[in-house]
């Protein structure tokens, strides 16, 4: 009973931390998901085909996306 009463003041902080973790996990899932990586690579190909990116810009952007995918898998 006393333990419960003493923990009441920190419950809002615990709730904020729990919510922040859920948000961070979802952001990671969306950023590193295979579908998100595929969409980004498809968008880069589209932009290159439309002339919005030259070959060097395309390769640099593609490498950043692939590095992010590889980095996440190694964690």
Distance CA 12, CA 15 (A): 5
Contacts of 60-65 with C-beta under 8 Å, sequence gap 24+, read 65/37, 65/40, 65/41
The series of mean pLDDT values per 10 residues for the chain, 75 residues long, is 74 91 92 92 98 97 92 62
**Helix (H), strand (E) at residue 3:** helix 2-7
pLDDT at 4: 73
C-alpha to C-alpha distance for 27 and 24, rounded to whole angstroms: 5
Q: The pTM is what?
A: 0.64
């Amino acid at each position: 009973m006393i333990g419960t009463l003493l923990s009441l003041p920190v419950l809002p902080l615990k709730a904020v931390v729990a919510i922040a973790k859920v948000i961070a996990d979802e952001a990671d899932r969306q950023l590193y998901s295979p579908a998100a990586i595929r969409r980004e690579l498809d968008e880069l190909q589209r932009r290159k085909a439309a002339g919005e990116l030259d070959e060097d810009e395309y390769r640099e952007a593609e490498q950043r996306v692939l590095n992010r995918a590889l980095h996440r898998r190694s964690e």
